[in-house]
Homo-oligomer: A and B are copies of this chain.
């Protein structure tokens, strides 16, 4: 198998988009670039920096494009993603989940000891502060740390203001750690369907966060970084003028869920769908549907169903049909797509969908123009 998978020989061949070995994860290259540019312009206009989340794309090429458009760096959800990004020369890597077990701390300290252009991590517990402090001091290089605020989601992060202030003081007292700021990411707000409710809930969180920041600064504590926001609140979180940077991720691709949420209350969605899965019709013996070659191992199943984008009769619907197959349900009296027809679907939840694929197939019009590895796929 060629290094870039079974479609490598098709790069640059006119019409190759319709001839891909399937299932294949596609990026509309121009739409991707427009999304990256649009978010960069938005951040500039809102007076806030960008450190986009690489857990969405896990790609050095996309991270480099984001940095080239002015991002300070990128966020990572796992130490494994951070290892890939730093080895690939990406600057300003911030790890958004606490790293608490001995093996994760060892990897974090090793990464911090190696050459890099910026690395930080969140903490949300005094035991973790002590463990990181010990390890960083033993390694002889200070570790940059942000304190994680639960922000109403309670997945990680401190539970309230008193705990946040105490943890900031603990970090500042740790000789091996350098306090860099606060992370406050409300993951539970990102997929709320209506813009008005997202805004109201984002304001509540911003008020609480603002109170915490005033208290810290009143105590003479500098808080250089305040990071948060996802694609669902990319324009709502900056309204409070509290965040110094945004850690938006999904805007590069958009998916069924985010397209619905971001379309609410607007004339046009602010970002384009750029990510698709191409799948071929492999069985045509049933009445009312045909079977395709993309199933549970190609699409995330935690969100809505994939949506049919092109290649099938209008109003066709996609349903899961086992590990390796999809069911393309045809509207009454629609012609049945012939065996081998390529269908393209919008992905249901982009992040875990990307994690199922080894390669992005970049398309422009009808042509496969490049293949990029999903560099950090599966990295923990």
Contact = CB atoms under 8 A, between A and B. Distances in A.
Contacts of A99: 282
Interface in A120-142: 124-125, 127-128
Contacts of A281: 100
A103 B327 CA distance: 21
Interface stretch (A41-49, A252-260, A290-298): A290-298
Contact of A156 (B77, B291, B320): B291
Nearest to A286: B154
Given A285-B158, A300-B296, A378 B352 contact: no
A286 B378 contact: no
B157 A324 contact: no
| Copies of chain A in the complex | 2
A375 interface: no
A82 B375 CA distance: 24
Interface of A: 1, 6-7, 19-23, 55, 77-78, 83, 97-104, 107, 124-125, 127-128, 150, 154-159, 163, 187, 280-286, 291, 293, 296-297, 300-302, 320-325, 327, 339-340, 349, 351-352, 355-358, 377-378, 380
Contacts of A285: 124-125, 150, 154, 156-159, 163
A327 B6 CA distance: 39
A358 B284 CA distance: 34
A127 to B, nearest CB: 5
A188 to B, nearest CB: 9
13 contacts: A1-B83, A6-B107, A19-B102, A55-B323, A100-B339, A101-B282, A128-B339, A155-B325, A157-B283, A300-B301, A301-B352, A323-B351, A323-B352
A7 B102 CA distance: 12
